[in-house]
Amino acid sequence: MTVTIDRFTESADTVNHPSHYTAGGIECYDAMAAMLTKEEMIGYLRGNSFKYRWRFRHKGGAEDLRKAEWYEKKLLALVDAA
């Protein structure tokens, strides 16, 4: 899928950069990371990974597994940065 945003053409990425999470010029994830403590962020990432793995057979299929993996990569990066 291709969308036009501010004179630039980009591929819609429903896993890494869904358009509905970038409204207002900042990604929801970045706002969450700025607001939460490290321990809260770890819980947020673990919970979202679990949610997508839990429902993948009933809702989003392989895309939900890719979303779970995205959250797990963020979690690993946060834990490794310690």
pLDDT digits (tens, 9 = 90+) for 35-79: 999 999 999 999 999 999 999 999 989 999 999 999 999 999 999
Q: Is 24 left (phi over 0), alpha (psi -120 to 50) or beta?
A: left
- pLDDT for residue 21 is more than 90: no
* pTM for this prediction: 0.71
- pLDDT for residue 9 is more than 90: no
pLDDT for res 3: 41
Q: At 2, which helix (H) or strand (E)?
A: strand 2-5
Non-local (6+) Cβ contacts of 67 within 8 A are 15, 48, 52, 60
Average pLDDT over residues 21-40: 86
Burial class of residue 53 (count of CB atoms within 10 Å of its CB; 0-12, 13-18, 19+): middle
